[in-house]
Structure 1
């Protein structure tokens, strides 16, 4: 009999692991400056998809407003989320600054594109209360 997770298409497997890891990431522009328009957000999404691909992760959703972007990323356990985030912010900053120099200079962002801070939240799967109940209900040997 195969394990239950083999029937769930959301669960990925590796050689010695089964996983379903997602992170909700939010990056804010420096000083919360209104930089993005639709074309720039589309380009930012393209860049971030490429970076995710190089990390063997998947950008499931992307959207943003004038001063920030939201990403939903599926990632394997071997990926250090902080390294992925640094690369996403660094690479996108380099490309966007090179491709939208006039716009960025007009807005007055200075030398940094993104704020140094970011939000990262784990998401997906069952609510914590359900997981807690499941763990508590395990038949502990006496």
Structure 2
């Protein structure tokens, strides 16, 4: 076979350090766009990015050229540096060390996308910790 076909859909979740509610409505869209730009640069096109005040969800099609840990390092380090420039309140911003990464069946991409879109509604009923443990 002369060419490779890879379609690895990954649902990535990571939180702010100590689950601090730093991701306020006035910055979330810009943060999600910034994270999407990193995904694109890493040849892992984002499908949906969203989250809540203390964590983000990224659904992307993972590049066949890089390891998952490399994508996470790029996402977390660059976005952390960027977000600190947005206001004095965010100068103490850090991401938590850990993360969750879950493979997604191509037939379930729409389900995960809807889940990410509905994060605000979802977290009216369930905390991030409860959500994460359910995964």
Deviation at 1:125, TM superposition (A): 3.6
Structure with more of its chain in strand, by fraction: 1
Name the structure 2 match of 1:52. 39
Tell me the TM-score normalised to structure 1 length.
0.69
What does residue 21 of structure 1 align with?
8
Pairs aligned (count): 107
- Cα deviation for residue 78 of structure 1 reads 1.6
Structure 2 CA distance for aligned equivalents of residues 21 and 121 of structure 1: 10
Structure 1 match to 2:113:
none
Distance 1:54 1:41 in 2: 20
Q: CA deviation at 1:86?
A: 0.5
Q: List structure 1 segments (4+ residues) > 2 angstroms apart after TM superposition.
A: none
Q: 1:126, CA displacement in angstroms?
A: 6.5
Rounded to whole Å, the distance in 1 between the matches of 2:101 and 2:62 is 13
1:120 aligned counterpart, secondary structure: strand
Taking only aligned residues, the RMSD between alpha carbons, in angstroms, comes to 1.8
Shift of 1:63: 0.9
- 1:121 and 1:19 mapped to 2: Cα distance? 16
What is the TM-score of this pair, normalised by structure 2? Answer: 0.72
1:119 aligns with 2:103: no
What is the CA distance between 1:72 and its match in structure 2?
A: 0.2
